[in-house]
Amino acid sequence: MDMKKLSGSVVLCSVLVVLAACCYGILSTIVKIALGNGVGIPVILVGKFFYGWVILLALVIVVHFLFPRTDKPAKSTLPPWKRGVVLFFTGIVMCLVTVCYFYSVSYLPVSVAVILLFQFSWMGVVIEAVANRKMPSRNQLIAVLIIFVGTIFAGGTIGFGMDINPFGVVLGLLAAFFYALFVFLSGRVEPSMRPMNRSFFIATAGFIFVCALIACIDSPAAIPAGIFGSDAIVYGIALGLFGVALPVLFLAIGAPRISTGMATILNSIELPVEVLAAAIVLVEAVSAWQWLGVLIILAGIAFPHLMEKKISSGLVEDAA
């Protein structure tokens, strides 16, 4: 079966992107449950990256045989060792997103941690402006303002008494920064490589880095515990499946045939999914002000793409 034919339907591709966002949306709830059962963050991190890597390896092998590449990839201008360095650095950035976010979840309610993570939307605008040496557009600046206002409401600082751990806030904002940087790098690192293969190499770098990091800041014993521990296996497989394998597979099939604007808006479904999962599964209190903030943030994310009419058809210009 031709993978391009499988990706041909806009509706199917949109559903796959939404499913990927929903997978990401339940991660912090799984982490909270694991923490409640006595599994430490270091063990959770190792398990997530290891089992995600294993599942992704299996998917790469399956995709290689079921969907063989028929086109000839463009040759990279970088020598092999530089390509490896760039991929490894991207994997480190991806790893730091997870490390900062999971530790943030251990200090903050999920509904607050995910809102901090979604600050990547405006941070990405800043990173792109600095990299391109070009001021953001008016619509992008308006979107940043909308997201900032939404964050004030959604963060629980208005109309809702909540003690916020400042260290958790710093970690949440760092996770947002690294995520914005990861998104920026993802669009520029080895674009000619198959998305699944590129994700596998990045995940490999992330697993190597997280093992080295945990060995330094915690204990080398956390590494085998995260791989072979009975509780760690359960949560590691769940996090690896929903945090690495499934979303990577869904995005690899669906994202190439959908415009960037449409993909951004569809991915934003992760925010209400995270807050809703926290409210239902973890029974976290979520005020009406926070839900209002979530809606404002979603509006801020969608605003520049709707105004610039980049997603009127849902297809990239050359996808037809």
Residue 156 has pLDDT above 70, yes or no: no
Residue 75 has pLDDT above 70, yes or no: no
**Is the model more confident about 128 or about 43?**
43
Local confidence band at 256 (pLDDT 50, 70, 90 cut-offs): low
Residue 320 has pLDDT above 50, yes or no: no
pLDDT, residue 144, reads 77
Residue 81 has pLDDT above 80, yes or no: no
Query: Rounded to the nearest 5 degrees, what angle is found at the Cα of 100, between the Cα atoms of 297 and 38?
Result: 110
pLDDT, residue 24, reads 84
Residue 158 has pLDDT above 60, yes or no: no
pLDDT, residue 263, reads 66
pLDDT digits 0-9 by tens, 265-316: 677 777 788 888 888 888 877 778 878 888 888 888 777 767 665 544 454 4
Across 217-222, average pLDDT: 90
**Is the model more confident about 232 or about 212?**
212
Closest listed residue to residue 174, CA positions, set 236, 255, 103: 103
Query: Rounded to the nearest 5 degrees, what angle is found at the Cα of 286, between the Cα atoms of 283 and 291?
Result: 140
The answer to whether 205 touches 91, Cβ cutoff 8 Å, is yes
Local confidence band at 187 (pLDDT 50, 70, 90 cut-offs): low
Closest listed residue to residue 278, CA positions, set 166, 100, 46, 117: 117
Q: Per the structure block, which two tokens stand in for 112?
A: 């607050």
pLDDT, residue 51, reads 94
Q: At what angle do helices 288-307 and 120-132 cross, to 10 degrees?
A: 30
Closest listed residue to residue 276, CA positions, set 8, 33, 27, 25: 25
Q: What is the spatial distance between Cα 156 and Cα 116, in angstroms, rounded to a whole number?
A: 11
pLDDT, residue 237, reads 92
Percentage, residues of the chain above pLDDT 90:
21
pLDDT, residue 317, reads 46
Residue 4 has pLDDT above 60, yes or no: no
Tokens 């964050």 correspond to 151
Local confidence band at 249 (pLDDT 50, 70, 90 cut-offs): confident
Local confidence band at 205 (pLDDT 50, 70, 90 cut-offs): very high
pLDDT, residue 7, reads 43
Q: What is the spatial distance between Cα 108 and Cα 68, in angstroms, rounded to a whole number?
A: 45
Across 258-266, average pLDDT: 63
**Is the model more confident about 172 or about 308?**
172
pLDDT, residue 96, reads 94
Averaged confidence pLDDT in the chain: 80
Local confidence band at 319 (pLDDT 50, 70, 90 cut-offs): very low
Residue 75 main-chain phi, psi, to 5 deg: -75, 135
Range in 162-171, 179-188, 306-315 the model is least confident about: 306-315
Burial (Cβ within 10 Å: 0-12, 13-18, ≥19) of residue 233 = middle
Question: What pTM did the predictor assign?
Answer: 0.80
CA dihedral 263, 135, 304, 93 (to 10 degrees): 30
Q: Cα dist. 77→82, 189, 200, 280 in Å? A: 10, 12, 21, 50
Q: What is the spatial distance between Cα 200 and Cα 61, in angstroms, rounded to a whole number?
A: 11
The answer to whether 42 touches 214, Cβ cutoff 8 Å, is yes
pLDDT digits 0-9 by tens, 34-51: 999 989 999 999 999 999
